[in-house]
Amino acid sequence: FLYFTRMRSVKKTYISLFLTLVHVCLVQADYAPYFFDNGPSSDTGNMALFSLSEDTPVGTQIYILNGTDPEQDLVTFGLAFEAGSKEYFKVDPKSGNVTLIEELDREKEDEIEVLVSISDGLNKVVEKVRVLVTDANDESPEFGNMSFIVNVPEDTPSGGSIFKVQAVDKDTGSGGSVTYYLQNSRMTKFAIDRHSGVLRIKPGEALDYEKSRTHFITVVAKDGGGKYKGKYQVLSSSATVTINVIDVQDTPPSFVGTPYYAYVYEDTVLGSEIFTVVAHDGDRGNPNAIHYSIINGSDGFFAINNTSGSISLLDYPVHLKKEVYELRIQASEVSEEGNVVAHVTSTVTIRVVDLNNHPPTFYGENGPQSTFELTMYEHPPEGEILRGLKITVNDSDQGANAKFNLRLVGPGRVLRVVPQTVLNEAQVTIIVENSAAIDYEKYQSLTFKLLAVEIDTPEKFSSTADIVIHLLDTNDNIPKFSSDYYIARIPENSPGGSNVVSVTATDPDSGLWGEVKYSIYGTGSDLFLIHPTTGIIYTQPWATLDAEEKSKYNFYVKAEDTEGKYSLAEVFVTILDMNDHPPEFNENFLEKTMVIGAPVKIEAIDDDAEEPNNVIEYSITQGDPDNIFDINTETGEIKLKSYIKSMDIVQNITKQRDCKWSVVVQAKDRGSPSFSTTAVVKIDITEATQLKGPMAAFLMQSRDNPMKALGVLAGVICVMVIVTVLISTAMFLRNKTSNRITPARRIIKKRPKKHPLRTLHRGWFPFGRRGNSSERFTVEDPGSGDENLNSNNNIKMPPPPPSAPALPPPPQYIPRPDKKVWTVPTVSGSLVSTSAKTPVSNKDVSSALVSELKMKLEKKMIENSATRY
């Protein structure tokens, strides 16, 4: 059947072909095929109102054309497109299957016009249908071809909108809707409206050109999402917006490089630039012009260029009086309209630098001067200003360059200069510091160098001036003796007018003030005269000097200048003893009885004052009948020669046996020339037996043993002393009980008598209370009173009014009270020979003390001489 039907269909085809050809060739004798219309939602039919998603892949079978032929002829299908348009589909002619052969894009063509045809071989029916292309989310949002550079003034208020971004998504529906976001939205100062795309400054944020001039923000545009090739997808795109912050006038200008220091040198040229200040507008984005000016402080010496800011000098540097100028300068911002918008001030410190090119210079009254002279009297008071010197000193430099020291070079510490340190200029004052050194007698003119030396400069410029001071003399010196005392010796018996000594005093003053006149004063001066100009001291014409009468004189000599200024010296004159007295025996004829073994003594006295003129040598010149005697040449003791031990020998010598001798003794002094005297001594020699008693025996014994004799003698003296002590003690006790004046009291009473002596000595020793030692000294050695006077003179005190110096108290002779005690005849007071003559007329206040001490002295001497035997 199948075969049959095929055969039939083949037959039919042939038949229909045939019929069609007939139909065509002959006339239309056939019905036209037609499409089934299965509605828009069907995928079979004539493709009318067929819609297709744009994301349909190529090659997909999308539709089946479906039609039929009334004659039931086989139909074939065809697809055609308008000329020039793209062919998206192809169709299988038999089955009518339509396949997509070209990519669809709704955004380019959302409707495809297709000519579909159906044919039964004879008739062909063509229909024009539109295939709708439906959307898929295949497009991302697109930011328009726009500039994303925005200029925003920095003073835009926060929250203000600054820009609007817009992105377009060509899709439809959700896939075509766009929302906006900012990347890193938290980090920026900006915010965007999701829907409108309006960009704003976040509330609370502000732009600052000075901090950040550009901001970059990334805006993301997102679509609402949609299907694409079966999947849901959201597309987005981003764009970067550059926000330029535009500067606005909100910052004043500022000076660059402050603080400013400038210098003007002494050789800076007039009008030259000394410094340039620079100020910038704080608003760098849109700077205004800066206009410079000086507010104050220039004193008219400086100017500033109002555009360049350079400061120039308007005057010569010499005229700049100040060392430092503080210029207040102002920089003003001038807007384009010419208004001053803002200004700032600063200070330029201009230091005038002095080139140290002037040394200090001394000026007198008439300009620079290097020698200053002054005439004045010597010894001006200390502290006096030498007003005659009018000196100024100045240094025309400035500041440290004009600082210098003043020094006075010359004899040290005589004058002082004030001030010692000078700045610029000073009046120089010279002050007397040491009056004594300004002495006409030492220098008739003084020369000093006044020195000015810069202190702090490397050059140390200096200058000097001579100061010459001519001195005038004043009577400032008193005559001065060559010595404080003069000692002279003159022999006694010198004729009147003999020169004694020559004194000299000098007064260095000039003229009459230096002339010296001499005179002498004092009780000791009676015998002397002085030549008023030569200073020679000589004796009065009538004077006779006798050493035996007074051997020491002292007095003052005075040297006086014409103004009455004087000084004193002391003169000590010693009269030298001459041998002008021969020795004399007490009697010319002497009779002595000599016990054998014991000596006899004879004595002669020489009245001369001094040794050797009064020293006597004894000798025996002749003995009759024979010289059997020896004589002690010093003491005059006559002894028998040692071999004569008994009367027998004596009698053997004298034939007459009467034992009477006549001996001639010579006494000769040692003066030169020497004088001698002789005396005849009759000596009667007797036997020792004539003497009776223990003393004689003792003496006889002691001839052989002198030491024993001395011991016995000492014992006797001791016993006597003890007895004396006992007796006086007994006397004392008796007096005490009877309330009478005791010896002790008497001693106390005597004391006031000493006072005159003490006060006297105090007068002689104005500087020292020597007390007892000096008193004792005076008494013990009266001759040394002269020396005390000297010491008085040595003390540099105004001398006491001239008066005769008191002579030292003469040594006093107190007769030995106990002479009779001595039984030994050889003991004699030979010391008394000269002093016995001195009158005991000394009514000196010290006599009591003197005599007391004298007695002690005598006693001591006696004891000494006693021990010698």
Ligand X SMILES: *[C@@H]1O[C@H](CO)[C@@H](O)[C@H](O)[C@H]1NC(C)=O
**Residues engaged in binding ligand X (CB under 6 A):** 36, 38, 44, 64, 66, 92, 95, 97, 145, 291, 295-297, 305-308, 328, 363, 392, 394, 396, 424-425, 648-649, 652
End-to-end CA distance of the chain: 225
Rg (CA), the chain: 82
Complex with ligand X: residue 39 or 756, whichever CB lies closer: 39
Cα 514 from Cα 527, distance rounded (Å): 29
Beta strands 111-119 and 124-134: pairing type?
Answer: antiparallel
Q: Which is nearer to ligand X, 146 or 719 (CB)?
A: 146
User: What is the C-alpha separation between 201 and 852, in angstroms, rounded?
Assistant: 139
6: left (phi over 0), alpha (psi -120 to 50) or beta: alpha
Contacts of residue 687, Cβ cutoff 8 Å, sequence gap at least 6:
595, 596, 647
List Cα–Cα distances, 712 to 695, 699, 867, in angstroms: 11, 11, 12
Single-letter residue type at 438: I
CB of 314 to ligand X, least distance (A): 12
Whichever of 81 and 363 has its CB closer to ligand X, that residue is 363
Cβ 272 to ligand X shortest distance, Å: 12
Secondary structure letter of residue 690 according to DSSP: G
SS3 of 131-155: EEEECCCCCCCEECCCCCEEEEECC
Q: What is the per-residue burial (b if ≥16 Cβ within 10 Å, else e) of 558-594?
A: bbbbeeebbbbbbbbbebebbbbbbbbbeeeebebeb
Residue (396 or 826) nearer to ligand X, CB:
396
- Give 306 or 574: the residue with its C-beta nearer to ligand X: 306
Q: Tokens 């003053």 belong to which residue?
A: 509
3-state class of 342 per DSSP? strand
Residue found by looking up tokens 């009776």 in the block = 692
Could you tell me the smallest distance in angstroms from the CB atom of residue 444 to ligand X?
Answer: 32
The least CB distance from residue 12 to ligand X, in Å, is: 19
Nearest CB to ligand X, comparing residues 146 and 795 = 146
Least Å from the CB of residue 613 to ligand X:
45
Rounded-to-integer distance, Cα 782 and Cα 808, Å = 6
In sequence order, what are the beta bridge partners of 640? Answer: 629
Q: Which is nearer to ligand X, 92 or 476 (CB)?
A: 92
In the complex, minimum distance from the CB of residue 195 to ligand X, in angstroms, rounded to a whole number: 24
Question: Shortest distance, CB of residue 517 to ligand X, whole angstroms?
Answer: 54
Helix (H, G, I), strand (E, B) or coil at 14: helix
Task: Identify which of residues 94 and 751 has a Cβ nearer to ligand X in the complex.
Answer: 94
Q: Which is nearer to ligand X, 647 or 804 (CB)?
A: 647
**Residue closer to ligand X (CB basis): 308 or 339:** 308
Find the shortest distance in angstroms from Cβ 144 to ligand X.
Answer: 8
**Rounded Cα–Cα distance for residues 868 and 502 (Å):** 48
CA distance 650 to 8: 250
Name the minimum Å distance from CB 784 to ligand X. 59
* Distance of closest approach, residue 258 Cβ to ligand X, in angstroms: 17
Least distance in angstroms from the C-beta of 284 to ligand X: 21
Residue 52 vs 573, nearer CB to ligand X:
52
In this structure, which amino acid lies at residue 208? Answer: D
Tokens standing for 483? Answer: 């010595």
Task: Give me the least distance between CB of 801 and ligand X, in Å please.
Answer: 59
- Return the number of the residue (531 or 641) whose C-beta is nearest ligand X: 641
Only one residue has tokens 């709708």, namely 132
Nearest residue (beta carbon) to ligand X: 145
Q: How far is the CB of 626 from ligand X (least distance, A)?
A: 13
Contact 491, 576 (CB under 8 A): yes
Say which residue the tokens 């764009």 belong to: 239
Q: Which is nearer to ligand X, 221 or 391 (CB)?
A: 391
Contacts by residues 686-690 (CB-CB < 8 Å, ≥ 24 positions apart): 686/593, 686/594, 686/595, 686/596, 686/659, 687/595, 687/596, 687/647, 688/595, 688/596, 688/597, 690/595
